[in-house]
Amino acid sequence: MKQRPDGDIEIDEKFWEEDFHIPTCSKCDGILKPDVVFFGDNVPKDRAIVAMEASARCDAFLVLGSSVMPLSAFRLVRAAHEAGAATAIINIGKTRADDIADFKINARLREILPHLLNTGSLSVPVF
């Protein structure tokens, strides 16, 4: 397996064919998965509406470890930015929202997040 610049892992197709088994429900035979939205899946409409409303009224928006490439994610950042919220991104590599973010830290979360959690803040020079 090889890590891509955006942090995703490129998985050899043989892994999917030979070793990867998707669990199924013993009652309905449906696919079992956690209550998250996987890349490529649709965000449930009610969840998308709540997220958009929150983004449009927040005063700060923080993106952690995301390329913001799915349009649904970019829309949230853009709504916050257009509402005047301070927007910051911590991600290794380029994101779709780099041009509208007020602040960007190009670093791996595992390197910067412990510092933020231990100090409670990150000093940023004012320009």
Q: Is residue 126 assigned to a domain? A: no
pLDDT of residue 123: 58
pLDDT of residue 112: 85
Give the count of beta carbons closer than 10 Å to the beta carbon of residue 81.
Answer: 18
Total of domains in the chain: 1
Q: Is residue 86 assigned to a domain? A: yes
Give the count of beta carbons closer than 10 Å to the beta carbon of residue 11.
Answer: 11
Q: Is residue 67 assigned to a domain? A: yes
The CATH number for 24's domain is 3.40.50.1220
- pLDDT tens sequence across 32-81: 877 777 777 888 999 999 999 999 999 999 999 999 998 889 999 999 99
Q: Is residue 127 assigned to a domain? A: no
More confident residue, 49 or 13: 49
Contacts of 122 (CB under 8 A, 6+ apart): 105, 112, 115, 116
Q: Please give the backbone phi and psi of residue 58, each rounded to the nearest 5 degrees, phi first.
A: -80, 160
Q: Is residue 91 assigned to a domain? A: yes
If pLDDT is split at 50, 70 and 90, which confidence band does 89 have? very high
Q: Please give the backbone phi and psi of residue 23, each rounded to the nearest 5 degrees, phi first.
A: -70, 150
Q: pTM of the predicted model, to two decimals?
A: 0.69
Q: Is residue 124 assigned to a domain? A: no
Q: Which domain holds residue 95?
A: 2-119
